[in-house]
Amino acid sequence: MVARRRKRAARDPREEIPSPSGYSAIPIKFSEKQQACHYLYVREHRVRGGTDSSWPQKRTLFVLNVPPYCTEDCLSRLLSPCGPVQSVDLQQKPDLAESPKEPKSKFFHPKPVPGFQVAHVVFQKPSGVSAALALKGPLLVSTDSYPVKSGLRKWISDYTDSVLDPEALRVEVDTFMEAYDKRIAEEDAKAKEEDGVPDDEGWVKVTRRGRRPVLPRTEAASLRVLEREKRKRARKELLNFYAWQHRETKMEHLAQLRKKFEEDKQRIELMRAQRKFRPY
């Protein structure tokens, strides 16, 4: 029994870490005070032959089980001892293509992915991936030099960030709309130049623009068009041909009679009130 206990104590603690097949486990801690470790599971990013991937081969590290408090900057800092990091991309699930990078904005930013995530870490050199696979831990997420807010401090920070400056927001929206209008004007000018011009094979691209510019349709014009289409369909229909048409015709006739009866009652009441009612 004593010898068995000594063998267990002599084992490498990394061998007892459960990890998926083909992955290496890197223990991390939120801070020095934390005793329990969280594990990142990493491997070199590989794809099957004939499959296209936007991630560079032999320089990309695929990371599983990334906690919510670990941001892209934080993950880049944790893996920077292995070599210079080119980019870090967090995703909700693995993808062969890199997610499109939108310009960062203080007011408009994508909603963060809730829960645990996966990451693709691209190093500048292939040696960075090999060093990350052999990385020992535990690594600290929050340090004195790079503190990570949590708990009540994080809630206060999130609330403070949610209070927007109206003037700064207006400036950013105006800047975005100016760039958008400029892009739309350039696209319209390019489409106008290509309108009716055949390509190398003699084909002419058909666009929405015609030779005669059409005025934008107003609400009244739309109602007139709908009424015209309704009358056209009514002329084509066979009246009182089906049983349901007989029923609908009778119901419409009864509704008209009731409506006329109510109108007559109101008219008679009005004439009585004005003393102009002479039935004979």
DSSP line for 171-226: HHHHHHHHHHHHHHHHHHHHHHHHTT-B-TTS-B---S--SSPPPPP-HHHHHHHH
CA 66/CA 55 separation, integer angstroms: 19
Q: What SS3 state is found at 152?
A: helix
Q: What SS3 state is found at 55?
A: coil
Q: What SS3 state is found at 265?
A: helix
Report whether 4 contacts 23 (CB < 8 A).
Answer: no
Q: Are strands 24-29 and 117-123 parallel, antiparallel or unpaired?
A: unpaired
For position 46, what pLDDT does the model report? 83
What's the predicted TM-score (pTM) here?
0.54
For position 181, what pLDDT does the model report? 93
For position 207, what pLDDT does the model report? 64
Distances, alpha carbon 111 to alpha carbons 30, 68, 208, 260, in Å: 23, 13, 36, 59
Extract the tokens encoding 213.
Answer: 């510019």
Residue type for 138, please?
Answer: P
33 closest CA partner among 140, 136, 137, 135: 140
For position 23, what pLDDT does the model report? 87
- DSSP state, residue 62: E
Extract the tokens encoding 130.
Answer: 């090999």
For position 123, what pLDDT does the model report? 92
CA 175/CA 108 separation, integer angstroms: 13
Mean pLDDT by 10 residues, the chain (280 residues): 49 58 87 85 81 81 88 88 88 69 64 78 90 85 82 84 84 90 90 75 68 62 85 73 81 92 90 70
For position 12, what pLDDT does the model report? 47
CA 248/CA 244 separation, integer angstroms: 6
